[in-house]
Each structure stands twice: as structure tokens, then as C-alpha cells.
A and B are shown apart, each in its own frame.
Chain A
Amino acid sequence: MSPLLFLILLPIVGALLAIAGFPARRVAIAAAAANVALSAGLLFSFDFTASGYQLVTSCPVVPSLGIAFTLGADGLSLAMLLLSTVVTLAAVCVARPPQTNSAWFYTCLLFISAGAIGAFASVDAFFFYMFHELALVPTFLLIGIWGSGDRQTAAWKITIYLAFGSFILLIGLIGLWLAMPVGSRSFDMRVIADQARQGALFLNDTSLVLPWGWGTIHGVQVTYLLLFLGFGILVSLFPFHTWAPQAYASAPAPAAMLHAGVLKKFGLYGILRLITPVFPPEIASQFNTFLLVLLVGNILYVGLVTISQRKLDLMLGYSSVMHMGYIFLGLLAWNEIGLTGASLMLIAHGLSIAALFALCGELRERTGTLDFSDLGGLAKPMPALGLLFGFATMASIGLPGFANFAGEVMVFFGAFSAGVPAATGFNAFQITTVIALWGVVISAVYMLRAYRRIFMGPVPERWQSLADIGTGPRLCIIALIILLLIAGFYPQLLINTIAPALIRL
């Protein structure tokens, strides 16, 4: 039995107990805390020098299709698992039990956690996909039932988008499966990567002649695009991003924390697992210009949209969309610096956006409004909340000392040295890097503007006696910030963990 299975089962057991009538909040916190302890325990049994998956257990499910329930972890998945358990604990701790159906509320949260953990612990692409789908259902429910504002629309929107993205992704996965030689077809990610390395994929590739003289397109290109766009939609790649801000604004704080912090990383993690190790760089580079334009959309256009927001929750939602652009840039750079930087950003963004959404939820609890024009000077009645929000803000805009900065810097260096050097001037990657660097200014503009509007300036009469943040949430957010600081002061710690997994790519 792999300890990874326990990691998946613990939240599910917790959820079942909550439904069975045990005190939901306590059960949820206990399950999440046990999971953090368990995943931290994994650190001790983990061999950081080895490459390849460890703690592997496998159980064939559909041998004829090459589907098996295989769990395993390498450095990258280990980091993601730790992120998932930590954010889960923070989410259930800051969650306020709703008036109705609180047992189901916590059950949904725990199921998201179980799904995310399952996805990150899966070695089999089929289960990897299934676990993500499993986690999406409770996300819709949380938004639709316990959300605020126009929650029905938001829930429907995220459903349509993510179902659409998953569908494209599924076709891409099937395409990948079909590309393997008959007889050795498998969903095992190790097998897929091995075959890619041996050049066994897309051997007898089909091609399609496009009408109107658009040339021919090959199966490998279609598969690449389907996978990238499929994963991309799940991560709110421009222009498929409009679901995210609305969903996060409507979702209860813990749901937003879990989705933006953990579950959304599924798509980026998937790119690291199923695209970079599988597709030859020549294929990928054919679409670089197109994809770079999209991610510039994420950084520059969505960045500007973020500036124009007038409410904190929407602004945070857009900001998380914007930051995805940097991670895409690191991934597309396709070199070790960029990929490592992107992986660092996965973790860093997960922690910082979770802290921000938690604080945003605390604010909503107290003021009932997140409109900048209604707020102001709140650091005076709530100094601790103001201080923590300040820390999270600084992390989010990539201040050195926080892990976000280390990730961003590596993405910039990776992207700046990516691609074929141009004869004169900059190549597409370098131009994109320049724009992305300007994005750092943009993110400072909107975050500091928000901080100034909410926490600085004179305090309106009605907010003068707001209660400061409680001990429980405060400790959770401090923990998230400390993790960000550790990884920011010494990013090599994370790099050493993640790099073997990436080198194997």
C-alpha cells in the first residue's frame, strides 16, 4: 500500500464522517491536518537524489487499453502534494460554516482536496484526468449553493468552460494514446515519456490537407494543440479566461483558495507531464508565436483589465489569471531555467493566492462589501489583517524574499534565452519577456492601488470598530506566508526537489 493512497483517502474518509453526522468542521480540520502531517512525513521517506517516480503502486484496471490505477510521486508531484495539503488545511480552517448544510459544505471542500491530491499523485494519465474531473463537481456545487453575488451564472459559466476544456483535453489524450504503436499503448505517463524519448510516438502519423491552400496539418500538431489548449482553458489561458474572475468572486473563500491555489495548477502540471516530455521541440516551436500572443494577452491585456476592476474579489480573480501568463511563458521557453521557474511559480502562486483569497473572505465577512469606493483606512481598526494582507500583496507582486520573485526571475531568464537568437534585435521570446517585465509594473499598480484604497487613508465612520482577524485564520495565513518566505529566501531547496523530475523530461 502506498502512503499516497492514504493521502487521497483521508479527505474522503473525513468527508464521509462529516456526512455521517460527526461535527463537520472538526472532522474536516482533523483530516486536513492529518494529511499535512502525512505529506510532511513523505519528505523523510523520499529520496531526493533519485529521479523517477517513487512510492509507486499499481493496479491494472483495463489492461487492454493500458489503463491502470498507478500512484507515484517524484519531486514535482511531491511539491504539489505538499501545496495541496497545506492549502486544504488553510482553507478548512478559515472556512466559516454556512447556515445550511454545513456537513455537505465541508464534504465538498474535502472532495476537491482529494481530487487534487489524486491528480497530482497519479502516474496514469487516465486517472490523472478523472481525479481532476472528480474535484470539479464539488467546485461547481460550492459556487452554486454557498456562493455570493450572481452565483448561479458564475457556477454555470465555470461549468461550461471547464467541461469544454476537459473535453478538448480528453480528445487530445486519446490522440496521444492513438499515436503510440499498437500493442504498447498505455496511459501510463512513464510509458508515454519513454516512447517519446525513443521516437516511437507518431510514427505513422496521419495528415490532413487543409482547404484553401492552408497547407497540411499533421496528427502530432493537432494533438499538441488540443492538449495545450485543453490544459490552457483549465488554467484560464487568454481568451478563455472570463470564467475565472467571476467564479472566484462568487465562490466562498475556501473554495476560491482551493481552486485558484491548487486545482487550477492541474493544467500547468499537466503540461509539464504530458507535453514537455512528450512532444519534440520542433513541433512545439511551430506554435510558439501563436501561444506567445495568447499569453501576452494574459499578461498585458488581462493586466489592464485587472487595473480597471473596482472590487477586490474580481481584481484578485483577474490577477490570478494574469499571473498564469508568466507560468505559460516559463513552460513555452522549454528550457531548464524556464521550466524550473514555472514550477516554482506553481507553488508560489498557489500559496500566495490562497492567502489573498482567505484574507479577502475575512474582509467580506466583516464589511459585506468589497467595493474599493466603500472601503478605506482599514489597517487602523484591523492592524493584523492589514499587515498580513500587506505581506500577501508583496508576495503577489513578486517582491524578493518571497518565492514568487524567484519563480518570476527564473521565468524571465529562461524566456530571454529561449528560442533561436534573432540575427538582429530580439526574437519573439525576448520581446515577450520585455512585455512580461512590464507586467511586473502592472501588477504592482493594481495591487498597491487596492491596498491603498482598502487599508490606507482615513477610516470611514462605519468601519471604525471592525474586529481584527481571529487567531485561527491568522495562524493559517502566517503559515502560508512563512512557507513563501522560506522558499523565497532559499529557492534552491525547492529547485533541488523539483529539478530531478524536470531533468528526466
Chain B
Amino acid sequence: MMATSIPWIILFAPLVAAGLILIFGKHSKPLSAGLAIAAAGICCVLSWWQFGQPDATTPNQFYWIHIPDLFSVPMGVTIDPLSKLMLVLVNTIAPIVFVYSLGYMAHEEGYWRYFAGLSLFLFSMLGIVMADNFLMMFIFWELVGVSSYILIGHYFWRDSAANASKQAFLVNRIGDFGFMLGILMLWLVTGTVVFNGIFEKIPLLESQGVYLTIACVLVFCGTIGKSAQLPLHVWLPNSMEGPTPVSSLLHAATMVAAGVYMLARFFPVLLVVPVAREVIAWVGGITCLVAALMATQQDDIKRILAYSTISQLGYMVLGVGVALTADIPMFHLYTHAFFKCLLFLCAGSVIVGMHHEQNIWKMGALKNKMPFTFICTIFGALALSGAGFGPIGFSGFYSKDLIIVWAVQNAPILGWIAVVTAGLTAFYTFRLLFVVFLGGPRSDAAKHATESPAVMVIPLMLLAIPAMAAGWPFVERIFFHVEEPRHVPHLVHLVLFALFLAGTGLAWVLYRRAEKDPISIPLFANRFYIDNGYAWLVKTFQDGLASLSGWADRWVVDLLVVQAPSKLTWVCGYVLRFLQLGNIQAYAFFFGAGVVGLLYLLIAR
């Protein structure tokens, strides 16, 4: 009894915290933060406890909607290696970010709103992780979307933040359109939305051919939206309008990974649909290259990291497409969560030290003023760029190289794209590091920057450890069973190491002492003009069509359907006026005739 209710406590503790903050938190900053951190702490402890427990499927069966024989949506939790891993991951990073927020948000408005949003987010994310059926996952999927809307729009009085939060929600909804349709299509064939029920019907699904492929690609649309893959990636860089801890937890470490997690959950079906996996692999591969190219020319510290996140998510999606077990992409998801969270928190520390300046060309020489942040950033950068050779390296080295070798084996073109991207990753990561921390100070703020308070620096150090060590084989074996494909050309590892050195070296040469960016590629800086393309599309098509409809409704539908008959009635009335005899008997006659006629209609048939 006790053991089966633990997952529910983990799930609902943050929701209770969010509700209490909403009701009581307005008047007390410590209460808001305390409630949120307490809930996250409980989740953390219980998740680690749960990690040691045996697997269990749906220990507590409860129906959200139940129409016997036709349609039922249970609310059940799945406890299997996949969800246990995610529980531990999310609930370890979340408390660290929550505590860090104490320092980062100390002087900000809307403290209660912020912590309520974070708690709501945690609740939603845990719901996605533990859902045992598609519809429950979809429910929490949308809730993650709304908590992200709340948090991105935290500074809602700024136009940029207001637009970004709206855009994030809408772009996600477009992805969810496909997701829901995919769920509907799978349900129509299998008659269930429960994951295990669908897996049992895989032979039946296989016989559906193209139908199944379309359904899987539609489900993947959900990932495209949530995990910011091309072409729905535009919201993620804009979401950097939110407070930095939010960017760190939601838009880098956990929430955006939900799309990959969903694919991993759905993996048994994907395995039998090669065409869908090919689509997935191509989307992932192209995203990882294009986003890395965009990242090389950004000037905002958070945006560089945002494009880097898109690129890394691209790796994970590529992994889903090419690997034979879901553990391969999940391994990268797990290491990425630590080092990207670390990098964002470092960026937050820099931003606070710089009095909310985010342009890297206004920074410089921060290595002496912010030594702890500097060292932690180095750890993050090494992990992100996959530093390592032979058996030893930082966490990203193990997980990213694994995806790359699988890709090289199963989809060579994409594999070599991924290899090249690894070099780009090293380049843009160290570009950021060198510009921000080396060289000379490029503004007054950089001259007077100070190290952040302990409440912010300690979380950085805590995260630096897994950023380095999370991928070490003996750590990895606790969580995963990953293996390399059989025939990997040794060349791949050599090329990857060479590219790492080349990328880092190029960044060293170009940016160590640069006063402004020595290279300028407008195509990358302007993000391949995709954002402008969308703006044009929305303005021309959506708004154009809407205006046209608005016009039609006023002048066609209204005029033809209402005004015309009413004018006709008026004409009839005008004609009938000649029947107005002004004579009581006549009216009585007409009235009587009408009544008789009606009665005749009713009775005498």
C-alpha cells in the first residue's frame, strides 16, 4: 500500500505546492520559495528511493474517463527503468535549480508567480514521465506547455517576453495537433491508448502499412514541437526571454527533452516502422547541423546556448532514428541534462554579475572576477563539446559519440553530418567561453563584475560533478545498457577528436583576444531567415485569410442571410399594409382564420 502510493506522492507534491503558493504565496516570499523547494526536495528523496524499487506497472488503477467497452483513459503510473531514470534525473536537477533561483530571483517581481509556475512545471513533467498511456501523457504534455507559457512570460510587461511566451505556446500547439491526430489513429486500430495495450497489438499495427507510418510520423510531430526540432524550433531561442533558471530547467535540461522521452516510451512501435524512423533520423540530423550553424553567429549568451540545445536535441532525435535501443538517445538526454543545466546556470551567474547584460561582446576578462563560475563553465563546455579520447572523457563525450557511431553505421550521410556538427559544437562552445571570460573587459559592467552569492555558486559546483562524471562507464551502467554497434570504423573516433581540437583551436585563434566578431555570416546570424519567413507566412496567410473571412462574414453571410430576408420581410410588410383595414371585425376575422388554420393543421389530418 505504502509503496504503491509513493509515485502518486511524487506526482502531486509539486501540484499541492503550486496550489498553496497561488493561494497564500502573494504575501510572503520565503513561504513561496519554501513550499516549492520543500515539494521538490520530497520528490527528490522519494525518486531516489523509488529508483531502488522493482518495476511496477499501474499499481493504482483509476479511470479519468471510462465508457465501458468503448473508451477508457486510466490514470496509471509506469515504473520501469525508463521512467525511474527520468524521475531521478528531473528530481535531482529541479531542486538544484529551485535553490539557485533563490539567489537569481531575489530582487525580482512576481516571486510567488515564479515559484508557482516552477512547481506546476515539475508536476507536469513528472506526469509525462510516469504516464502509462498516451492521453495522460498528452494531458501533462499540454500542462508543461502552459507552465512554460507562464514562466517565459514572467516579465509580461516586456513586449518581447509577452510575444515569446505566446509564440512558444502556439508553436507547441501546432506540434500537438499532429500528436493528437497520431494518438487518434493508433487508437482507432488498437482500441486503446495505454502504451502496453498498444505494444501488445504491434502485429496488428504492422499489417497497417502506410497508415501506421503516417500515425508514427504524426506522433513524432509532438516531439518536433516540444523538442524544438526543425521546422518548429523557432520558439526555443525566443523562450530565453524567461528568467535564466527557467531556461536552464525547462528549456534545456528537462522539458524540451520530453519529446525525446516520449519517443523512447513509444520505441517498441517505432522499431517496426523503418520509414518513420528514417524521417525521424533526418529531422534530427538536419536540426543538429542547422542549429549548430546558427549558434556560431549569435551574440546573446543565452541564445548561443539555446541553439546549442536545439542542436543537442537533434542528436537525441537522430539517436532515436538510428539506434536499436532507446537507451542510446536516453543516455545523451541524461548527460545533456546535467551539462546544459550547468551551462545555463553559469550563464545566469554571469548575467547577474554583469547586471543583466546578455551580449557576450559587452563581457570579457571575467575569469578573474568570477573564478568559480569560470571553472564551472569550463566543465560544462568540455562536456558539451564532447572532450575526451580513448576511454577517458567528459560526460558528453560518451553519449554523443555513441549516437554518432550508430548513425555512421546505420545512416552514413547523417552520421557524417553529425560528425561535422561535433566540430562546430566545440567551436561555438569555446567561442562563448573565450569571449566571455578571456580577452579584455569590453564594457564598464565587465570591469566591475563580481562573483555571484554562494546560493548560486554551490549549485554550479554540484552540477559540475555529474557534467564531468555522469558518462563514466561505471556510472552509466547503473542507469543504462548501451553498446556500440559491431562494425565501427576506428576512423570515426579519430576524426571526432581531431575535429574537437580543430574547433577549439579555431575558437582560440579567432576569439581569444577579439574585440568584436572577426567573422560575419549574415545567413547564420539571421537564423537562415526562418523566423522572418514565419512572420511573413502568418501575416500573409493567417491574418490575410482571417481578414478576408471577417470581411465575408460582415458583407456576405450577414448581408445575404439576414439582411436580404429582413428586407424581403419589410417589403412584404409594406404590401400587407394595404390589408390594414383599421377595422376591428377584419382583424378578428384574420385572427380567427389563423387559429382555425392552425387547429386544422394540428388535428384534422
Binding site for B on A (CB under 8 A): 64-65, 157, 160-161, 164, 174, 177-178, 182, 239-243, 301-302, 304-305, 307-309, 335-337, 340, 377, 379-380, 394, 399-401, 405-406, 409-410, 412-414, 416-417, 433-434, 437-438, 440-441, 444-445, 448-449, 451-452, 455-459, 490-492, 495, 499
Known contacts A377-B157, A416-B187; 18 further A-B pairs (Cβ under 8 A): A177-B602, A241-B557, A302-B549, A304-B545, A304-B549, A304-B550, A377-B156, A379-B156, A400-B143, A409-B65, A437-B177, A445-B542, A448-B166, A448-B170, A456-B162, A457-B156, A491-B65, A495-B65
Minimum Cβ distance to chain A for residue B540 (Å) = 14
The one of B187, B557, B566, B601 that contacts A160, using a Cβ cutoff of 8 Å = B566
Would you call B184 and A440 a contact (CB within 8 A)? no
The one of A409, A417, A449 that contacts B135, using a Cβ cutoff of 8 Å = A409
Would you call B550 and A441 a contact (CB within 8 A)? no
B66-74, B394-402, B425-433, B462-470: which one contacts chain A? B66-74
Alpha-carbon separation in the docked complex, A307 to B539 (Å): 12
Would you call A406 and B65 a contact (CB within 8 A)? yes
When distances are taken between beta carbons in the complex, the residues of chain B under 8 Å from A305 are 546, 549-550, 552-553
The one of A161, A400, A413 that contacts B139, using a Cβ cutoff of 8 Å = A400
Alpha-carbon separation in the docked complex, A335 to B66 (Å): 15
Q: Mark B338-361, 1 if CB is under 8 A from A, else 0.
A: 000000000000000000000000
Minimum Cβ distance to chain A for residue B313 (Å) = 22
Alpha-carbon separation in the docked complex, A294 to B64 (Å): 32
Would you call A438 and B177 a contact (CB within 8 A)? yes
Interface of A, helix, strand, loop or mixed by DSSP: helix
Would you call A445 and B170 a contact (CB within 8 A)? yes
B residues 297-338 near A (Cβ < 8 Å) are: none
Minimum Cβ distance to chain A for residue B521 (Å) = 33
Interface of B, helix, strand, loop or mixed by DSSP: helix
Alpha-carbon separation in the docked complex, A242 to B549 (Å): 13
When distances are taken between beta carbons in the complex, the residues of chain A under 8 Å from B602 are 65, 174, 177
User: Does B558 sit within 8 A of A, measured CB to CB?
Assistant: yes
When distances are taken between beta carbons in the complex, the residues of chain B under 8 Å from A301 are 549, 553
Minimum Cβ distance to chain B for residue A500 (Å) = 12
User: Does B146 sit within 8 A of A, measured CB to CB?
Assistant: yes
Binding site for A on B (CB under 8 A): 63-67, 70-71, 135, 138-140, 142-143, 146, 153, 156-159, 161-163, 165-166, 169-170, 173-174, 176-177, 180-181, 184, 187-188, 542-543, 545-550, 552-553, 557-558, 561-562, 565-566, 569, 601-603, 605
The one of A379, A413, A445 that contacts B187, using a Cβ cutoff of 8 Å = A413
When distances are taken between beta carbons in the complex, the residues of chain A under 8 Å from B70 are 335-337
Would you call B180 and A412 a contact (CB within 8 A)? yes
When distances are taken between beta carbons in the complex, the residues of chain A under 8 Å from B65 are 406, 409-410, 491-492, 495
Alpha-carbon separation in the docked complex, A380 to B110 (Å): 10
Would you call B184 and A413 a contact (CB within 8 A)? yes
Interface pairs (28), CB distance under 8 Å: A161-B562, A239-B561, A242-B558, A301-B553, A302-B549, A302-B553, A304-B548, A305-B549, A337-B71, A377-B156, A399-B143, A400-B143, A401-B139, A401-B143, A405-B139, A405-B142, A409-B65, A409-B135, A416-B187, A437-B180, A441-B170, A444-B173, A445-B542, A448-B169, A448-B170, A452-B163, A458-B157, A495-B65
When distances are taken between beta carbons in the complex, the residues of chain A under 8 Å from B543 are 307-308
Minimum Cβ distance to chain A for residue B545 (Å) = 6
